[in-house]
Amino acid sequence: MIYRTLGRTGIRVSEIGMGCEGFVDQPYEQVLSFVDKMESHGVNCIDLYTSNPEVRSNLGRALRGRREKFVL
């Protein structure tokens, strides 16, 4: 995976990111699977555009214990 520095922040983000459209109307298990796949391939950038509480809850659960590995 290729990473780039985000402005002057020093935060390194993957060139490939995950948009949250794929999380809408998905059960927690599917969101967890997406996040597992992202982590295994070095994707650390998540575009969390939605205010949908179910998506946010499922993503939060999927990131539990590894939140520091991802940039939202």
- Token look-up 């539990």 returns 64
**Separation of alpha carbons 27 and 5, rounded Å:** 33
Give the pLDDT of residue 3: 97
* pLDDT tens, residue by residue, 17-70: 998 887 889 999 999 999 999 999 999 999 988 888 999 999 999 999 999 999
Give the pLDDT of residue 60: 95
Q: Which residues contact 4 (CB under 8 A, 6 or more apart)?
A: 12, 13, 15
Give the pLDDT of residue 49: 85
* pLDDT tens, residue by residue, 55-69: 999 999 999 999 999
* Residue 24 contacts residue 55 (beta carbons within 8 Å): yes
Confidence of residue 12 (pLDDT cuts 50, 70, 90): very high
